[in-house]
Amino acid sequence: MQKGAIELLACILIFGMVFSGTTRVFQMKQLEEPWDMTRKVEGIKNEEKDSVDVMYFGSSHMYTSINPVVVWEEQGIPSYILATQKQPFWISYYYMREALKYQKPKVVVLDIYRSDFLEEYEEESVNRAAIDLLDFSYNKAQMIEASVPKEERASYYVNLIKYHGRWKELTKEDFDWSYRTKQDPLKGYVCLYPTTPIDRRQSLEEVTEVQDMSDKTKEYLMKIIELSKKKGFELVLYKAPSNATKEQKAYYNAVEAIAKENNIHFIDYNMLYEEVGLDLSKDFYDENHVNLLGAKKVSTHFSAYLADEFHLEDKRDEVSYRETWDQAVQINERWEKAYELRNIVNLKDYVEAVKAEDYAVLFTTVSNVSLDTVSEESLKVCQDFGLLQKEKLKGHYIAIMKDGEMPYEVDREALNDAIRDLGLPIEVAYNDQERYTLSNIDYKDHNYFTSRGNMNIIVYDKKLNKIVSNVLVDLKTQGKIVQ
């Protein structure tokens, strides 16, 4: 090869690397838990090749209703979720093809929530959430052609067209690409722990109507079925419990009919509430998505379904799986503890719960706390725990606890030094009303403060690197907790 050609090729390669890096810096990322989809989509590439036996695709109904860690704990089945918000069937199809570059799943589960989508294209936010996350490839180009109107496609091929204006809002996170080399500890699952009680749901037992899907949606469902035959994986058409309406059920009936025609597995959890033990008052994050408790119930049931229907091997005793799945189990346990904290309603139980390793706990009051106004019960709990020990408190009361040790009181001026000594990436500031504001890169625009005369407790989980609980305690009563 001539010298000039070599130099030209080198220039092209250098330009490509610089352009790719610049694009990655400017591109919007989803890194904040629990909606850290950038990490979750990148994570599949960092799993051991061909180590995942079950993969799940679809919308938010998929990534909130199945917890692969529970599936692992129950049946020893390694699995992973590659879902994005409102994912239509055509994006699911190309996501499956993308995943097959890295894994050879024995079973693929498709969430059918979007079977009722009748438009030719989804809205931009849905497309961006799925397409921008993938590295450029022929498969991604085909996804763009199928998912985006012709006049809008250029900015999906060259993301800088869309994101070049972000230069003013870039942060150090935009230059940190470590997520590209890490596994997602929850294997694509999004853990939702708030609870919204649901008053009622529609009865679907008598719904026999079959509502036709759009031509495009049906076309890509058939492409997925054909892909399962070509690549040799079993396909499950799956509907998460979502308090579906009668109108939605008619579309699910259409999918079920296609499943029967093609000898495909079908399961609709909207019809299995009693069998699974779902509780409308406790198990839902909102009307359409289960929370951590609901996902645990569904995952336990579905893991048994996978084991019974497909006779998948239990791999819990295989050494090559232990490190990644032991870590996943530990992280999942931390999220479960966070859920438990958020449901405690009295001070005594709460202070016992935060006596845990890997917690750092901050106790604050806004103004002087008069012990005369603190109820006898609240004062006893606090003092038994090591709080409010002085006869007279001067200024703002501040105490810190680390790893279950006894709390120690801190002067206001020394608070941030004490927090830094604990290795926590947070700091406390004060606004004009002398209220505390907790801030760092992960907690911008979130204020954590107490009302006058009460105590604020903030719990930071060092394993999750996240504030997992922030409560207000009414010290004048029996220590009632306000989450």
**What is the residue-wise DSSP string for 421-448?**
HTT-S-EEEE-TTS-EEEESTTSTT---
Q: Which of 25-29, 82-86, 359-363 is the least confident region?
A: 25-29
Q: Which of 362, 359, 367, 393 is nearest to 464 (CA)?
A: 359
Beta carbons within 8 Å of 103's beta carbon, 6+ residues apart? 44, 47, 49, 50, 51, 52, 55, 80
Question: CA 341 to CA 465: how far, in whole Å?
Answer: 16
Confidence of residue 443 (pLDDT cuts 50, 70, 90): very low
pLDDT value for 444 = 43
Chain segment 297-320, per-residue pLDDT in tens: 999 999 999 999 999 999 999 999
pLDDT value for 398 = 81
Beta carbons within 8 Å of 58's beta carbon, 6+ residues apart? 83, 87, 92, 109, 110, 111, 112, 113, 114, 238
Chain segment 9-44, per-residue pLDDT in tens: 545 444 444 444 455 554 655 656 666 777 888 889
pLDDT value for 415 = 76
Distance of CA 464 to CAs 42, 333, 404, 461, Å? 19, 10, 17, 5
pLDDT value for 441 = 34
Confidence of residue 278 (pLDDT cuts 50, 70, 90): very high
Question: CA 159 to CA 477: how far, in whole Å?
Answer: 56
Question: CA 20 to CA 22: how far, in whole Å?
Answer: 6
Confidence of residue 178 (pLDDT cuts 50, 70, 90): low
Q: Give me the sign of the Cα torsion angle 361, 362, 365, 366.
A: negative
Question: Residue 76: pLDDT above 50?
Answer: yes
As assigned by CATH, the class of the 28-339 domain is alpha beta
Q: Which residue has the higher pLDDT, 289 or 476?
A: 289
Confidence of residue 371 (pLDDT cuts 50, 70, 90): confident
Q: How far is CA 336 from the centre of its chain?
A: 13
The average confidence (pLDDT) of the chain is 84
Mean pLDDT of 94-98: 97
pLDDT value for 434 = 47
pLDDT value for 330 = 94
Give whichever of 347-356, 372-381, 404-413 has the largest mean pLDDT: 347-356
Q: Which residue has the higher pLDDT, 73 or 414?
A: 73
Distance of CA 213 to CAs 88, 112, 199, 369, Å? 12, 11, 30, 63
Chain segment 103-144, per-residue pLDDT in tens: 999 999 999 999 999 999 999 989 998 998 888 999 999 999
User: Locate tokens 């004009």: which residue?
Assistant: 432
Q: Which residue has the higher pLDDT, 447 or 232?
A: 232
Question: Residue 59: pLDDT above 70?
Answer: yes
Residues of the chain with CATH 3.40.50.1110: 28-339
Q: Which of 432, 411, 423 is nearest to 364 (CA)?
A: 411
Question: Residue 248: pLDDT above 70?
Answer: yes
What is the pTM assigned to this prediction? Answer: 0.85
pLDDT value for 292 = 95
pLDDT value for 13 = 45
Question: Residue 282: pLDDT above 80?
Answer: yes
pLDDT value for 71 = 98
Question: Residue 192: pLDDT above 60?
Answer: yes
pLDDT value for 395 = 55
Q: Is 378 helix (H, G, I), strand (E, B) or coil?
A: helix
Mean pLDDT of 466-480: 80
Question: Residue 286: pLDDT above 90?
Answer: yes
Q: Which of 141, 143, 171 is nearest to 158 (CA)?
A: 141
Q: Backbone phi, then psi, for 394, in 5-degree steps?
A: -110, 130
